[in-house]
Amino acid sequence: MAASSHLSLRPPPGQNRPIFRSRCRPVRCADDHQALFNRIALVYDNLNDMLSLGQHRIWKRMAVSWSG
């Protein structure tokens, strides 16, 4: 039988640590959520501007007008 690639998210045999590790602590309360949002909001908007060439601002206005 031919060898197959290992596509599981489980660690390989003999390896006890998880494959994906997060260096950030989990967000647990509303204050943490707000702090996280405040930290990434400007970067997120700038990235949206670059990736959509400003079109996301028009989409945002349309979504707000449709929501009433």
* Per-run averaged pLDDT (10 residues), the chain, 68 residues: 54 59 66 87 89 90 92
In Å, what is the CA distance from 43 to each residue of 11, 39, 46, 50, 68? 34, 8, 5, 11, 28
pLDDT at position 68 is: 81
pLDDT at position 8 is: 56
pLDDT at position 52 is: 92
